[in-house]
Amino acid sequence: MKYFLAVLAMVTLLQAADSEAQKTHLAVGRDLYRENCSVCHDIDKDKAHSHKLGPSLNHLFKNETLPLSHGKPTRQYVEVRIKFGGAIMPAFGKRLTPDEITALIDYIDSK
pLDDT tens, position by position, 14-42:
454 455 556 788 999 999 999 999 999 99
Region class of 85: left (phi > 0), else alpha (psi between -120 and 50), else beta: left
pLDDT over 60 at 105, yes or no: yes
Architecture in CATH of 2-110: Orthogonal Bundle (1.10)
Q: pTM of the predicted model, to two decimals?
A: 0.77
pLDDT over 60 at 3, yes or no: no
> Considering the chain, what percentage of its residues have pLDDT values greater than 70?
79
What distance in Å separates the CA atoms of residue 105 and residue 32, rounded to the nearest whole number? 10
Q: What are the residue boundaries of the structural domains of the chain, listed by start?
A: 2-110
pLDDT of residue 20: 59
Mean pLDDT of 61-67: 88
